[in-house]
Amino acid sequence: MVNKSKNDRMVEILRRMKPERHGAVVEAMAERGVSYGASYGVAIPVIRRVAGEYAPDHALAEYLFLQDVRELKLAAVYVDDPAEVTAEQMNRWAEAMPTDEVMEHAAMQLFYAAPDAPKVIRAWLTGADRSRWKGALQMIGRQAMKGILNERQAADLLNVIEQFLLTADDLPRRASVFALERLAGVSPELSRQTLALTTRLKQSPHPSLREIAEETEALL
* pLDDT tens, position by position, 30-70: 545 555 667 788 989 999 999 999 999 999 999 999 999 99
The pLDDT value recorded for residue 155 is 98
The pLDDT value recorded for residue 40 is 83
Using 50, 70 and 90 to split pLDDT, how confident is the model at 1?
Answer: very low
Using 50, 70 and 90 to split pLDDT, how confident is the model at 4?
Answer: confident
Measured distance CA(34)–CA(39) in Å, rounded = 10
Instruction: Check whether 28 has a pLDDT greater than 80.
Output: no
The pLDDT value recorded for residue 34 is 55
Predicted structure pTM score: 0.91
Measured distance CA(59)–CA(4) in Å, rounded = 13
Q: How far is CA 58 from the centre of its chain?
A: 18
The pLDDT value recorded for residue 30 is 52
The pLDDT value recorded for residue 98 is 82
Higher pLDDT, 26 or 19: 19
Ordered DSSP codes for 186-216 = T-HHHHHHHHHHHHHHTTSS-HHHHHHHHHH
Using 50, 70 and 90 to split pLDDT, how confident is the model at 22?
Answer: low
Instruction: Check whether 75 has a pLDDT greater than 50.
Output: yes
Question: Minimal CA–CA distance to 90: which of 67, 113, 60?
Answer: 113
CA dihedral sign of residues 15, 21, 27, 30: negative
